[in-house]
Amino acid sequence: MEQERAVLEVKDLTVAYRIGERWLEAIRDINLSIFCGQIYGLVGESGSGKTTLAMSILNYLGQNGRILKGSIVFDGEEISQYPKEKMRSFWGSKIALVPQNPLSSLNPTLTVGEQVQEVLRLHLKMPEAAARKRVVELFEQVRLAEPQRVARSYPHQISGGMQQRVMIAMALAASPRLLLLDEPTTSLDVTTQASILDLIKELIQGQDMAVLYVTHNLGVVVELCHRVAVLYAGELVEDAPLEEIFRQPLHPYTFGLLKSVPKLGQNKKEQVLSSIPGQIPALAQRGSGCIFQSRCPIALDICAERPPLESIDAKRSSRCFRWQELLRGEIPLEKLFEAEGEALQASIPVQQKSEAAALDAQGIIVEFESHASLFESLARRSSRKVKAVKDVSIRIEAGDTLGLVGESGSGKTSLARAISGLNEPEAGSIRIYGLSAAPKLSKRNRDVLRRLQMVFQNPEEALNPFMTVGESLRRQLFVLQGIRGEEAQRLAEEMVKAVQLPLDVLNRRPNQLSGGEKQRIAIARAFITNPDVVIADEPVSSLDVSVQATILNLINRLQGNFNNGLLFISHNLAIVGYLADQIAVIYLGALMQLCRAVDLFKPPYHPYTEALLSAVPSVELGKKAQTIRLEGELPSPTERIEGCPFHSRCPRKIGEICERQAPPWRVDESTQKRIYCHYTLEELTELQSPILDVGL
């Protein structure tokens, strides 16, 4: 394979964007070769320039983007200077793209069949009838149920997963030589992502084609790719075959990236996450030295100069002056990255259980009216109601973390908002250490309000942009506890130190902070009045991977110090599994499984939990006993579902009983694992095998 000519050869590519008056380099000196039959993973966080690289390869930069130097050779042809009109003969036929957001990438006013047909008619010169027939075949290949019907549908009529299948069919329609996949599963739920990945793997393996897979998700790379290139702040820092990069990364950034991510089955009790300090330098702040220098634990004086991308052997290369030491294992990177973590570990106190629960929410029901305009409520007395949360009860002990995990549309955020009072629940009781909290926020007094605080998902919107950080924190103290003046200032300073930020952030406004810093302040605001319960709704999901670990460690440590109950919500099983003591799995507004975090990965599982675990991209997929994939689509929220909420997609459905009768809660007395299923725990254990070999 190495002998033949590469399908794509990128040499010393530098691309810049015009920002105001200046041209700023978004990617620098990129070298990359992709051969036929190869799936090349390009990994990078946001701001790494990975999309810029993909768009440069397509020669499709916007008006403010320009290739400054370097070459892009496609099948022996230098294309980097071709004008747009010349590129049109490459696009779609020789180079194809599968983009990130399928819905916005499809024309809303044309049927999806027509949009795929266009490619066939244009590049394969197929007549209309043949093209129509071929579209149906293609749709069958991408596993679209009812391909004929789908072909006649408009994009808004089909689900996100189906839209992405259409995009894949469109990209493959003219059998391109080079396929670019730009985060094709990022906007999808984990179960849908799993089946799309299966499909991509099946379709492209053994094809006469080179593939560049762009992603921020290391797990996906592991599932799919032969080679991995790691991009950091516009530079390629490491490039190696998959196994080697995971076995022994030869750049400190790669190492940090791998270690800062909780692995499925890892828990905070065993190991503190390594975290990379700082953040990716902005475009304007990229100096002439090693790009990773400011965050690197092993930087030397020499790193003020820019290291070259050095070949280690025929197969791999690294942009680190100290790769030889790393190769010989002379640098204990693990220890260096964990320096902060170790101190942390010591400060985590042994959590004590008390009798009254920090949070006890019973029978929560949340309903939304689907249309509530004046006219319609007049026209129809009883408006349609959507049950977002159906009779859910949870309990969190002091110092404990309950991880609530579910896909989008599962009702996890609705539940959190109902408990916090932001949305008034239809029914249910909420108690904090036995003290009843009114369902309506305006009915809660200052004491109850102080006891329950929240951290929100999007750090960009978490802080009032017109107040300084100090004002935000002091306001919290004043309103909830009547603390003002010097005392408030002192507490605010202490809290800022606790979230590991310099004191001068108190005088700054949010637009002067990075996303991770904003989220730290949001966390500080939630904890500053020492609440009994903190609800964190996807607090790290909009942050970059290398920043996530810091935030997770921070939440963990603060909770340890204050000993409050934490409701941690996430769609990410590994993160929930890492941070939580107890785990609740939610589907369509109903709890499916409740158990200790340590028991989550051991059978028996609820069939939905089993599917979720199986869907998580994993390094050792081969060792999974079976792959479970969910069929069909998430039922519409307005649909009334009898029996078990999961029956329409359950791979282990027993039969009619699941459709008719609500399942019982099956309880394991020794571990307190609770599963909502018609199968008994014994039967499930019999049917299932461990999905992970976690050796617990």
For residues 76-135, which are near other proteins according to CB under 8 A? 84-85, 88-93, 96-97, 99, 101, 104-110, 115, 118-119, 122-123
DSSP 131-163: HHHHHHHHHHHTT-SSHHHHHHS-GGGS-HHHH
Please state whether beta strands 22-34 and 8-19 pair in parallel, antiparallel, or not at all (unpaired). antiparallel
Site stretch for other proteins (CB under 8 A), options 29-37, 199-207, 463-471, 497-505: 463-471
| Minimum CB–partner distance for residue 104 and other proteins (Å) | 4
Q: What is the per-residue binding string for other proteins in 296-335, x denoting contact by CB under 8 A?
A: ----------------------------------------
Of the two residues 91 and 608, which places its CB atom closer to other proteins in the complex?
Answer: 91
User: Residues 218, 415, 555, 592: which binds other proteins (CB under 8 A)?
Assistant: 218
Task: Give just the sign of the alpha carbon dihedral 47, 48, 51, 56.
Answer: positive
Contact 46, 544 (CB under 8 A): yes
Q: 190 φ, ψ to 5°?
A: -65, -35
Looking at residues 394 to 453 of the shown chain, list those that interact with other proteins (rule: CB under 8 A): 420-422, 441, 444, 446, 449, 452-453
Token pair 């084609």 in the structure block, residue: 209
Query: What tokens appear for 614 in the block?
Result: 């199986």
| Minimum CB–partner distance for residue 239 and other proteins (Å) | 19
Q: What is the per-residue binding string for other proteins in 363-392, x denoting contact by CB under 8 A?
A: ----------xxxx--x-------------
Contact 579, 552 (CB under 8 A): yes
Beta bridge partners of 567: 402, 535
DSSP 598-654: HHHTSS---HHHHHHHHHS--TTGGG-S------S-PPPTTS---S-TTTTT-TT--
Of the two residues 303 and 575, which places its CB atom closer to other proteins in the complex?
Answer: 575
Site stretch for other proteins (CB under 8 A), options 197-205, 536-544, 561-569, 645-653: 536-544
Helix (H, G, I), strand (E, B) or coil at 433: coil
| Minimum CB–partner distance for residue 299 and other proteins (Å) | 24
Looking at residues 629 to 668 of the shown chain, list those that interact with other proteins (rule: CB under 8 A): none
User: Residues 40, 74, 323, 456: which binds other proteins (CB under 8 A)?
Assistant: 456
| Minimum CB–partner distance for residue 106 and other proteins (Å) | 6
Q: What b-and-e string marks burial along 41-51, b requiring 16 or more CB atoms within 10 Å of the CB?
A: bbbbbebbbbb
What end-to-end distance do the CA atoms of the chain give, in Å? 41
Site stretch for other proteins (CB under 8 A), options 195-203, 356-364, 474-482, 646-654: 474-482
Beta bridge partners of 23: 18
| Minimum CB–partner distance for residue 420 and other proteins (Å) | 6
| Minimum CB–partner distance for residue 660 and other proteins (Å) | 32
| Minimum CB–partner distance for residue 538 and other proteins (Å) | 8
Can you tell me the distance from the alpha carbon of 457 to that of 540, in angstroms, rounded to the nearest whole number?
A: 7
User: Residues 252, 515, 589, 663: which binds other proteins (CB under 8 A)?
Assistant: 515
Please state whether beta strands 582-587 and 401-405 pair in parallel, antiparallel, or not at all (unpaired). parallel
| Minimum CB–partner distance for residue 249 and other proteins (Å) | 13
| Minimum CB–partner distance for residue 165 and other proteins (Å) | 15
Site stretch for other proteins (CB under 8 A), options 132-140, 303-311, 540-548, 586-594: 540-548
Burial of 533 (0-12, 13-18, 19+ CB in 10 A): buried
User: Residues 234, 399, 406, 645: which binds other proteins (CB under 8 A)?
Assistant: 234
Of the two residues 85 and 208, which places its CB atom closer to other proteins in the complex?
Answer: 85
User: Residues 219, 252, 341, 663: which binds other proteins (CB under 8 A)?
Assistant: 219
Count of Cβ atoms closer than 10 Å to residue 214 Cβ: 26
Of the two residues 425 and 459, which places its CB atom closer to other proteins in the complex?
Answer: 459
| Minimum CB–partner distance for residue 661 and other proteins (Å) | 35
| Minimum CB–partner distance for residue 362 and other proteins (Å) | 21
Decide: is 617 part of the binding site for other proteins (CB under 8 A): yes
| Minimum CB–partner distance for residue 576 and other proteins (Å) | 10
Contact 26, 16 (CB under 8 A): yes
Of the two residues 299 and 576, which places its CB atom closer to other proteins in the complex?
Answer: 576
> In sequence order, what are the residues at sequence separation of 6 or more whose Cβ sits closer than 8 angstroms to the Cβ of residue 460?
515, 518, 542
| Minimum CB–partner distance for residue 477 and other proteins (Å) | 10
Of the two residues 188 and 590, which places its CB atom closer to other proteins in the complex?
Answer: 188
CA 61 centroid distance within chain: 26
Looking at residues 476 to 505 of the shown chain, list those that interact with other proteins (rule: CB under 8 A): 476, 479-480
Segment holding 318, helix H or strand E: strand 317-318
Q: 241 φ, ψ to 5°?
A: -60, 150
User: Could you give the count of Cα atoms lying within 13 Å of 348 in the half-sphere of its Cβ?
Assistant: 19
Measured CA distances, 350 to 29, 345, 353, 565 (Å): 50, 11, 10, 14
Q: What is the per-residue binding string for other proteins in 26-65, x denoting contact by CB under 8 A?
A: xx-----------------xxxxxxxx-----x-x-----
Can you tell me the distance from the alpha carbon of 200 to that of 214, in angstroms, rounded to the nearest whole number?
A: 13
Of the two residues 158 and 644, which places its CB atom closer to other proteins in the complex?
Answer: 158
User: Residues 36, 415, 545, 644: which binds other proteins (CB under 8 A)?
Assistant: 545
Looking at residues 255 to 284 of the shown chain, list those that interact with other proteins (rule: CB under 8 A): 257-258, 261-266, 282-284
Q: What b-and-e string marks burial along 266-290, b requiring 16 or more CB atoms within 10 Å of the CB?
A: bbbeeebbbbbbebbbebeebeeeb
Of the two residues 337 and 676, which places its CB atom closer to other proteins in the complex?
Answer: 337
| Count of residues in contact with other proteins, rule CB under 8 A | 120
Looking at residues 147 to 166 of the shown chain, list those that interact with other proteins (rule: CB under 8 A): 154, 156-157
Of the two residues 232 and 321, which places its CB atom closer to other proteins in the complex?
Answer: 232
| Minimum CB–partner distance for residue 37 and other proteins (Å) | 23
Of the two residues 31 and 101, which places its CB atom closer to other proteins in the complex?
Answer: 101
Count of Cβ atoms closer than 10 Å to residue 623 Cβ: 11
> Which of 208, 180, 155 has its CA nearest to residue 92?
180
Query: Residues for the chain: how many in total?
Result: 696
Looking at residues 546 to 605 of the shown chain, list those that interact with other proteins (rule: CB under 8 A): 548, 571-575
Of the two residues 45 and 340, which places its CB atom closer to other proteins in the complex?
Answer: 45
Contact 567, 535 (CB under 8 A): yes
Query: What tokens appear for 455 in the block?
Result: 């951290």
| Minimum CB–partner distance for residue 26 and other proteins (Å) | 4
Of the two residues 181 and 590, which places its CB atom closer to other proteins in the complex?
Answer: 181
Of the two residues 154 and 433, which places its CB atom closer to other proteins in the complex?
Answer: 154
